[in-house]
Amino acid sequence: MSTTSKYELDMCNGPLFPRIILFSAPLILTGILQLLYNAVNIVVVGRFVGSSALAAVGSTSALINLIINLFIGLSMGAGVLMAKHYGAGRYSDANETVHTAIAVSAVGGIALTLFGVLAARPLLQAMGTPDDVLEHAVLYMRIYFLGMPASMIFNFSSAILRAIGDTRRPLYFLSVSGILNVVLNLIFVLIFHMDIAGVATATVISQYLSLVLILLCLIRSDGCIRLHLRRIRFHRDKLLDIVKIGLPAGIQGTIFSISNVLIQSSVNSFGSAVMAGNTAAMNIEGFVYVSMNALYQAALNFTGQNIGAKKYDRIGRILGVCLVSVTVTGIILGGSGYFLARSLLGIYSADSDVIAVGITRMRYVCIAYFLCGVMDVLVGSLRGMGYSVLPMLASIVGVCGIRITWIYTIFAINRSLETLYVSYPISWAATALVHLICFILVRRKLIRGAAGKPDC
């Protein structure tokens, strides 16, 4: 058995549920580990630097996502394209996809570094970041963006591995780099007193370690995912396909982030204590999100491979298994997060005002978080079938349109955190319904096309 094949997963044959769980479980653990390491960053900042620094870290999250989401979307495009070629047995095309993806991620990472470092201050000022938070936020963001080349290459490489069913090795690499992140956090903050700069520097160093590990993995792999550094270049047809699938996903993520930036700006208007509570609650919610996002990745990659293999009869069953799984996961984890909110928030801060704000957010977000998972799984299925513009438009009109309209109408009339946070579940439910209708129409068209019937 080759070193690569033992990590692969057959997505096109056999029972779906056990294979989807086998695929998703390492992804859930990977996401949880990432969040645990990020939580250490936030806990170290909140406990040993102060609530102002904690607010600074939180205030950059939505803005960072806004800037990088275009390239995260392109990494999804690379993953879908890889899954299709792999499922169809077009291994030469799959290998060209690998080298094109690495080229895109390297160029994108460098561009993001330059933009993030130069634009940090004006963008944070435009968000209305308070003066007592601004300098911390600018410093954190500038250092953080020095790690963008490593982060982008790792994300694209992970998408390539997921496309062949390998979700274990990215977990191993993040485990090693995450441990380094925690150790460096404590050393830089507690021993060298570097405060927020120490936290950001530890993150960047650990990102470059994960970059080295995943590149060595691809270089030493067998078969179509093997990376040859001298062959890294843009294959025009593969680049166009990656952009065709990934650009709408990236635009969707970017516009999503614009709505979140507007929400963050609204949160900023309540002061640093509210910002800190919002940051802590968001970090806890992240554990629920990454668990549900693993099932989005399962829907995306299983659908992509089966489309490549022309096994259209499995598409509906893949969606059904993923929808049931994500709903159960979201209800159990979201409900647990809310009922344990006070204890969990107390880990991040001892400030009662910060904890109260966090509880308010989790009351509206955590309980209904499964709706976000349902929405994402439907999007994953549509993208796996090669339809990326359709879910982009639905999401822009649904999630982003509703939230932005809500902020400038309902929230403007009744400026409270409760009014702000209730926009989340409303936008998830409405958009999930639209995505479901889109899936039904696309699947019907796909089946009719496969059967040679006119689409009417």
Q: Give me the pLDDT at residue 455, please.
A: 40
Tell me the Ramachandran region of residue 129: left when phi exceeds 0, alpha when psi lies from -120 to 50, beta otherwise: beta
Residue 151's Cβ-count burial label (10 Å; 0-12, 13-18, 19+) is: buried
Q: Give me the pLDDT at residue 1, please.
A: 41
In a domain, 248, yes or no: yes
Compute the distance between CA of residue 244 and CA of residue 350 in angstroms, rounded to an integer.
Answer: 48
Q: Give me the pLDDT at residue 220, please.
A: 94
Q: Give residue for tokens 């047995």.
A: 89
Would you give per-residue pLDDT tens digits along the chain (456 residues)? 455 567 888 899 989 999 999 999 998 888 888 777 777 777 777 777 776 777 777 667 767 877 888 888 899 999 999 999 999 999 999 999 999 999 999 999 999 999 999 999 998 898 788 887 888 889 999 999 999 999 999 999 999 999 999 999 999 998 999 889 889 988 998 888 888 899 899 999 999 999 999 999 999 998 899 999 999 999 999 999 999 989 998 888 777 777 777 787 888 888 878 888 888 888 888 889 989 999 999 999 999 999 998 999 899 999 999 999 999 999 999 999 989 999 989 887 888 888 999 999 999 999 899 999 999 999 999 999 988 888 888 888 888 888 889 988 999 899 888 998 999 999 999 999 999 999 999 988 887 776 554 443
In a domain, 5, yes or no: no
In a domain, 389, yes or no: yes
The residues, ordered by sequence, that sit 6+ positions from 377 with a Cβ below 8 Å of its Cβ are: 292, 295, 296, 299, 319, 322, 323, 326
Q: Give me the pLDDT at residue 164, please.
A: 94
Specify the amino acid at residue 300. Answer: L
What total of structural domains would you count in the chain?
1
Q: Give the chain's length.
A: 456
Tell me the Ramachandran region of residue 318: left when phi exceeds 0, alpha when psi lies from -120 to 50, beta otherwise: alpha
In a domain, 69, yes or no: yes
323 φ, ψ (degrees, to nearest 5): -65, -45
In a domain, 2, yes or no: no
In a domain, 121, yes or no: yes
Cα angle value 322/326/329 (rounded, 5°): 140
In a domain, 1, yes or no: no
In the chain, the N- to C-terminal Cα span, in Å, equals 48
Compute the distance between CA of residue 157 and CA of residue 151 in angstroms, rounded to an integer.
Answer: 10
Query: 31: domain range?
Result: 12-451
The residues, ordered by sequence, that sit 6+ positions from 265 with a Cβ below 8 Å of its Cβ are: 127, 128
In a domain, 6, yes or no: no
Rg (CA), the chain: 21
